[in-house]
Amino acid sequence: MGTTLSGLLTIATVVLVLAVAHVPLGDAMARVFTGERHLRVESAVYRLCGVSPSSEQRWSTYALSVAGFSAVSIVGLFALIRFQGSLPLARGAAMDTDTAVNTAVSFATNTNWQSYVGEVGASPVVQTLGLAVQNFVSAAVGLAIAVALIRGLTRNASTTLGNFWVDLTRSVVRILLPLAAIGAIVLLAGGVVQDLTAPEVVHGLSGVDQTVQSGLIASQEAIKELGTNGGGYLNANSAHPLENPNAVTNLVQVVLMLVIPFSLPRTYGVLVGDRRQGQAVLAFMATLWVAMLAVITWAETAAATGPLGAMEGKEVRFGVWGSTLFAHTTTATSTGAVNSLHESYSPLGGGGVLFNMMLGEVSPGGVGAGLYGALVVAILAVFVAGLMVGRTPEIVGKTVGRREITLVALVTVTTPALVLLGTGAALALGTARAGLLGTGPHGLTEMLYAFTSASNNNGSAFAGLTADQPYLNLTLAACMLLGRFVPILLILALAGSLAAQRRRPATDGAMPTHTPLFAGLMVGVAVLVTGLTFLPVLALGPLAEALS
């Protein structure tokens, strides 16, 4: 079988699995967030936390819960990292203060940018009790926000959006935990390590000693992909054979990254009582996913005709197709795990994965974050269409008024502002610039990639950048923090504003938001906004490199 056919069949397998899985999973998630009954374990959680699961929260209280929980997560993880030397199984692992700040913010914001090296920076205690726990709960926060926004659209003249603690707990207990357990056992069977003994130094057949890493990797690997987190247990992430041993585990990891984000449009459709609304959002996400996969695969397979076969920074077992499928998926979701080195990609291949993140992580985006990002695009599209044809901007029976569009506009400018200001400042500053591996346009792209990844909570890197320096650790941490919580705050305010409105039946004057035309309009709006914002810097970076 030829490599092209093999690659296309692999992609077809991913699409088939998602096509089958997204309906039952989307329906199940809708039930999770509407069910009246609490599981016994959930009731125990509420009792232990002292929260009343039946109390409803206004959007501001919901936001305070998110803020309180995330603040505790960041401080707790920072403390765990800084004190790891005094805890069991330390094995000499340590991080400096600025690295620990960066890491704590990174994992609590679902970014998983890593300026430390897994093998020496984080002990098994930090990895398992700190980082992996944040992999679960930060993904659950994303789900909660998405559900709160949906409630804003569906509730009728309501002052409340649900209860954050209930949404968080149910997301973990009923969605993330069961799926992660299945994923972990599949990965374990495929060869991913799950061991707490110290890394073994073996005397190799070649006569050279080699360290075989250990750790509770399989359990962390599954939620790393499923929660669209992306922080590798080991430095090489999913390129490391002990994290991603073969083509089957690679396929499983790609599916894990995509399955929740691509199922959430179905959940949305069910919850708003019109599945076609979900189908339009799904069509929007899928169109961008397929189009960008085609661009990146084309760029890399074209580069593979050269003498180096595009194999620098790629693994033999995955080849070019298995690497690009992963690279595309990890940036189109907000995962950021890598099974190949994005910096070694051809200019347009690397530019393609960069563009994926610049789209704002909506194709299909992170767990929860992808859906609320896509709904922001939908509201923007409704508004733009309203301006063009003079129709009332409405979405599922709610009017997009001045307050709503102001909030949506603020969400839309937040991350680009962080990306462009952060990149510009870092390039102007000698200490940050000294950390660049690349030169000329490629150096610009390298820094741009870092701030795009951090601000969009992706976490992948053009890893030649020496990011473990105080300036970059702290500014990237600020970008991750603001890029995560400013949009979340604005979206909860938007949800509150929408919930307060009466839900009206659709009028003839409203533009239908369930049609292929509308999905196309969403694609156009997303690409135009991204293009207008980033074209100048893309021209100076990847495009200039491709043309030189």
Partner 1 sequence: MSTTTPTSAATSAPTSSGRSRTRTVHLGSFGRQTVAGLRMLLVMTVLVGVLYPAVVWAVGQAAFRDQASGSLVRRDGVVVGSSLLGQQWTGPQWFHSRPSVSEYAGDTSGGSNLTATDPRLLREVAQRRAALGAGGASAPADALTASASGLDPHISPEYAAAQVFRVARARGLTTEQVRRLVTDHTQRRTLGYLGMPRVDVLELNLALDAAARR
List the interface residues with partner 1, window 237-256 (CB under 8 A).
239-242, 245-248, 250-251
Among 18, 22, 69, 268, the residue binding partner 1 under the rule CB under 8 A is 69
- Would you say 240 or 514 has its CB closer to partner 1? 240
Q: Any contact of residue 189 with partner 1 (CB under 8 A)?
A: yes
Best CA proximity match to 110, nearest among 81, 129, 133: 133
- Would you say 317 or 391 has its CB closer to partner 1? 317
Q: Any contact of residue 508 with partner 1 (CB under 8 A)?
A: no
Q: Any contact of residue 226 with partner 1 (CB under 8 A)?
A: no
Nearest distance in Å: CB 213, partner 1: 7
Nearest distance in Å: CB 409, partner 1: 25
N- to C-terminal Cα separation, the chain: 35
Nearest distance in Å: CB 345, partner 1: 8
Among 61, 399, 406, 515, the residue binding partner 1 under the rule CB under 8 A is 61
Nearest distance in Å: CB 197, partner 1: 7
What torsion, rounded to 10 degrees, do the Cα atoms 500, 504, 506, 507 define? Answer: -110
Contacts (CB under 8 A) with partner 1, residues 102-141: 117, 119-120, 128-130, 132-133, 136-137
Alpha carbon distance 220, 224 (integer Å): 6
CB 101 within 8 A of CB 78: yes
Among 104, 105, 110, 151, the residue binding partner 1 under the rule CB under 8 A is 151
Stretch that binds partner 1, among 95-103, 168-176, 256-264, 502-510 (CB under 8 A): 168-176
DSSP string, 77-136: HHHHHHTGGGSTT-TT----HHHHHHHHHHHHTT-----S-HHHH--HHIIIIIIHHHHH
Q: Any contact of residue 168 with partner 1 (CB under 8 A)?
A: yes
- Would you say 182 or 290 has its CB closer to partner 1? 182
Contacts (CB under 8 A) with partner 1, residues 339-358: 339-341, 343-347
Pair type for strands 394-395 and 398-399: antiparallel
Q: Any contact of residue 372 with partner 1 (CB under 8 A)?
A: no
CB 437 within 8 A of CB 90: no
Nearest distance in Å: CB 495, partner 1: 13
CB atoms within 10 A of CB 16: 10
- Would you say 97 or 210 has its CB closer to partner 1? 210
Those residues with Cβ within 8 angstroms of residue 193's Cβ, 6 or more apart along the chain or in another chain = 213, 214, 215, 217, 218, 242
Q: Any contact of residue 27 with partner 1 (CB under 8 A)?
A: no
Q: Any contact of residue 218 with partner 1 (CB under 8 A)?
A: yes
User: Could you give phi then psi for residue 10, rounded to 5 degrees?
Assistant: -65, -45
Nearest distance in Å: CB 231, partner 1: 14
Rg (CA), the chain: 22
Q: Any contact of residue 234 with partner 1 (CB under 8 A)?
A: yes
- Would you say 197 or 390 has its CB closer to partner 1? 197
Q: Any contact of residue 43 with partner 1 (CB under 8 A)?
A: no
Among 58, 91, 403, 503, the residue binding partner 1 under the rule CB under 8 A is 58
Give the total residue count for the chain: 548
Alpha carbon distance 460, 222 (integer Å): 17
Q: Any contact of residue 474 with partner 1 (CB under 8 A)?
A: no
Nearest distance in Å: CB 522, partner 1: 27
Identity at 308, one-letter amino acid code: L
Q: Any contact of residue 60 with partner 1 (CB under 8 A)?
A: yes
Q: Any contact of residue 202 with partner 1 (CB under 8 A)?
A: yes
Contacts (CB under 8 A) with partner 1, residues 407-446: 437-438, 442
The residue to which tokens 């938007």 are assigned: 494
Q: Any contact of residue 11 with partner 1 (CB under 8 A)?
A: no
Q: Any contact of residue 33 with partner 1 (CB under 8 A)?
A: yes
How many residues of this chain interact with partner 1, rule: CB under 8 A? 134
- Would you say 459 or 464 has its CB closer to partner 1? 464
Stretch that binds partner 1, among 72-80, 93-101, 366-374, 473-481 (CB under 8 A): 72-80
Burial of 428 (C-beta count, 10 Å sphere; 0-12/13-18/19+): exposed
User: Could you give phi then psi for residue 295, rounded to 5 degrees?
Assistant: -65, -50
Alpha carbon distance 516, 270 (integer Å): 18
DSSP string, 225-278: HHTT----SSTTGGGSTTTS-SHHHHHHHHHHHHHHHHHHHHHHHHHTT-HHHH
Contacts (CB under 8 A) with partner 1, residues 302-321: 303-304, 306-319
Residues 108, 109, 111: CA angle, nearest 5 degrees: 110
